[in-house]
């Protein structure tokens, strides 16, 4: 399927519905589930209804997803584990005509989606706001990302071992890659895998997607119990797609030492997952970056606001704002309105995520940190990821986060929150180790030792919770 048009989706359904797709689920069972849900949509008797999917069961989720697509519905994906606060936010944004799953609260007022020529696929993203919002995609944007992935990895078929939630773009895109390419997918809760329940013995045709925390837990299980042997199992995949949050250096060093086929990725819900990937062979050679840009995307490095004319890309190795143009870019947000969109370009709208980085002479993308996390202290710019990397290099911490706290003299002061690797580690021992690694203005002026850093399911540090903790 070379096009993202829904008509092609329907033609493919006529072929694919009889073929095995989901490992452990016979094709006829899945086909029956899809047709049952299609009948429910037809009974609504509405043109392009809005369907909300909050199914915790992956088979029910995918059957609902395909039924809504085949019936030209607008559809919204939802986390079945949302609480009342999140559901209130969701139902303040939209009113579905049909809900599959068990939302906590019913819609109270009618909120209609604005008209659009194509059915929309609303994928939830918390972004940096901490509030629920949706990235609005179409079949065309999602399928463009699939074909960019297949072209980049030079494969006709994609096979995925999925342990990430399907309502999240990182899980959903695994399902779409396998469907569109005629591959197969294993869907399993990560907890089951960690307990040793492996659904298949992979070969180099298969990929697995993990966040850094998951990779760390699998490798730690091997350290605690040699019989698990996750390392040998993981080494058989074509690629271990690692994204969702920055991976810490000791984890990458361990993976490289054990010859794991890590593929560091850069992408987001807004771009239908990855737009840059470091291929495993480059990782194993010692390269470390977000890799090269996938064929369906273009990335340029633009000056930061107020520094120079926007539109003139910066030269290689110069840090600036990431600017993305891609066929897989979302239509916009719900709720609407975002200053990161710019004028129309040849590949679509330009998008500026909250990321700063540079492109090297070989075309590899390097992310140095988030613009909103940048610390300006005494007029100097400090990127937390650089300072955190220096902490990891000391081998004296189990975890670390660098923040900027308000200060009347400096504007902001560099603040380190760390989990010591052992009882002998103190702020003084860390200061001594950092002296030769960092310029003086990058050194933390405040120090907090804690037992554990708050992280979400994707492994990202919950910075708001951490700020409350250190300010409290």
Mean pLDDT to the nearest integer, 76-102: 90
How is the beta sheet containing 262-268 ordered, strand by strand?
Answer: 185-187, 159-162, 206-210, 239-242, 262-268, 273-277, 292-293
Question: According to DSSP H, which parts of 347-443 are helical?
Answer: 384-394, 427-434
User: Cα separations (Å) of 31 from 13, 54, 166, 255?
Assistant: 9, 20, 19, 40
Name the DSSP class of 347.
Answer: T
Phi-psi region of 259 (alpha: psi -120 to 50; beta: other; left: phi over 0): left
Q: Please check the confidence at residue 109 and state whether its pLDDT lies above 80.
A: no
Among the residue ranges 259-268, 277-286, 453-462, the one predicted with the least confidence is 453-462
Q: Which residues contact 39 (CB under 8 A, 6 or more apart)?
A: none
Tally Cβ neighbours within 10 Å of residue 110: 7
What is the Cα–Cα distance from 215 to 247, expressed in whole angstroms? Answer: 10
| Structure confidence at residue 106 (pLDDT) | 65
- Cα angle value 230/236/239 (rounded, 5°): 100
pLDDT of residue 374: 87
How would you classify residue 348: left for phi > 0, otherwise alpha for psi between -120 and 50, otherwise beta? left
Say if residue 246's pLDDT is above 70: yes
| pLDDT for 72 | 94
Instruction: Tell me what percent of the residues of the chain surpass a pLDDT of 90.
Output: 64
Q: What are the tens digits of pLDDT across the range 333-365? A: 998 855 454 433 334 578 999 899 999 999 999
Q: d(Cα 363, Cα 313) in Å, to the nearest integer?
A: 13
Tell me the angle at which helices 139-152 and 169-181 cross, rounded to the nearest 10 degrees: 70
Query: Do 127 and 135 touch, CB atoms closer than 8 A?
Result: no
* Residue whose tokens read 């037809």: 42
- What is the C-alpha separation between 184 and 187, in angstroms, rounded? 10
Asked if the peptide bond before residue 335 counts as cis, ω within 30 degrees of 0, the response is yes
* Rounded Cα distance, 16 and 27, in Å: 9
Distance CA 421, CA 251 (A): 14
pLDDT, residue 307, reads: 53
CA 289/CA 285 separation, integer angstroms: 12
Sign (positive or negative) of CA dihedral 63, 65, 70, 73: positive
- Letter string b/e over residues 245-284, b meaning 16 or more CB atoms within 10 A of that residue's CB: ebbbbebbebbeeeebbbbbbbbbbbbbbbbbbbbbebbe
Q: Is the pLDDT assigned to residue 5 strictly greater than 60?
A: no
Which segments of 168-279 does DSSP mark as H helices, in order? 169-181, 190-194, 212-224, 230-234, 249-257
Q: Report which of residues 212 and 61 the model is more confident about.
A: 61
Q: What is the pLDDT of residue 107?
A: 64
Q: What is the pLDDT of residue 344?
A: 36
Q: What is the pLDDT of residues 111-139, one digit of tens each?
A: 778 888 889 999 998 644 558 899 999 99
Contact yes or no for 335/309 (Cβ under 8 A): no
Q: How far is CA 416 from the centre of its chain?
A: 26
Give Cα 165 distance to the centre of its chain: 11
Ranked by mean pLDDT, the top range of 205-219, 244-258, 453-467 is: 205-219
pLDDT in tens, 181-201: 999 999 999 999 999 999 999
Q: Which of 126-140, 152-166, 170-184, 322-336 has the lowest mean pLDDT?
A: 126-140
- Tokens at 394, concatenated: 């000391």
Considering only 59-68, 175-184, 208-217, 330-339, which range has the smallest mean pLDDT? 330-339
pLDDT for 2 equals 41
Q: What pLDDT, on a 0 to 100 scale, did the predictor assign at position 130? A: 58
Question: Whole-number mean pLDDT of the chain?
Answer: 89
| Contact between residue 334 and residue 311 where contact means Cβ atoms under 8 Å apart | no
Residue 322 has pLDDT above 50, yes or no: yes
H helix intervals, 99-211: 139-152, 169-181, 190-194
Q: Does the pLDDT of residue 3 top 70, yes or no? A: no
């Amino acid at each position: 399927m070379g096009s993202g048009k829904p008509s092609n989706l329907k033609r493919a359904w006529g072929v694919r519905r009889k073929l095995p797709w989901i490992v452990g689920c016979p094709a006829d069972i899945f086909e029956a589930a899809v047709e049952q849900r299609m009948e429910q949509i037809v009974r609504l008797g509405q043109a392009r209804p809005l369907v909300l999917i909050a199914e915790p069961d992956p088979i029910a989720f995918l059957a609902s997803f395909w039924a809504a697509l085949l019936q030209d519905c607008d559809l919204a994906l939802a986390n079945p584990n949302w609480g009342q606060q999140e559901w209130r936010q969701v139902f303040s944004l939209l009113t579905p005509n049909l809900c599959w799953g068990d939302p906590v609260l019913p819609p109270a007022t009618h909120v209609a989606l604005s008209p659009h020529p194509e059915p929309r696929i609303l994928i939830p993203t918390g972004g940096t706001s901490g509030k629920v919002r949706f990235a609005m995609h179409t079949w065309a944007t999602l399928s463009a990302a699939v074909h960019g992935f297949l072209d980049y990895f030079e494969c006709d078929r994609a096979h995925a071992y999925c342990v990430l939630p399907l309502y999240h773009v990182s899980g959903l895109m695994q399902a779409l890659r396998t469907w569109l390419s005629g591959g197969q997918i294993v869907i399993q809760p990560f907890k089951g895998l960690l307990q040793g329940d492996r659904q298949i013995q992979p070969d180099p045709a298969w990929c697995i997607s993990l966040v850094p925390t998951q990779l760390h837990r699998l490798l730690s299980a091997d350290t605690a119990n040699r019989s698990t042997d996750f390392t040998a199992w993981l080494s058989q995949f074509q690629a271990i797609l690692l994204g969702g949050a920055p991976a810490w250096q000791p984890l990458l060093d361990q993976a490289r030492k054990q010859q794991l086929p890590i593929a560091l990725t850069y992408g987001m819900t807004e771009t239908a997952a990855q737009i840059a990937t470091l291929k495993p062979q480059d990782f194993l050679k010692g390269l470390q970056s977000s890799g090269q840009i996938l064929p369906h995307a273009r990335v340029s490095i633009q000056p930061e606001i107020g520094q120079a004319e926007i539109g003139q890309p910066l030269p290689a190795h110069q840090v600036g704002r990431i600017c993305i143009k891609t066929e897989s870019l979302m239509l916009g947000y719900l709720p609407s309105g975002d200053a990161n969109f710019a004028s129309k370009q040849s590949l679509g709208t330009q998008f500026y995520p909250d990321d700063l980085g540079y492109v090297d002479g070989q075309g590899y993308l390097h992310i140095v940190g988030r613009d909103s996390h940048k610390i300006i202290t005494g007029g100097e710019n400090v990127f937390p990821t650089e300072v955190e990397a220096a902490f990891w290099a000391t081998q004296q911490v189990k975890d670390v986060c660098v923040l900027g706290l308000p200060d009347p003299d400096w504007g902001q002061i560099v603040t380190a929150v760390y989990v010591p690797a052992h009882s002998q580690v103190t702020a003084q021992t860390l200061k001594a180790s950092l002296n030769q690694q960092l310029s003086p203005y990058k050194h933390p002026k405040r120090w907090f030792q804690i037992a554990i850093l708050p992280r979400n399911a994707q492994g990202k540090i919950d910075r708001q919770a951490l700020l409350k903790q250190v300010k409290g």
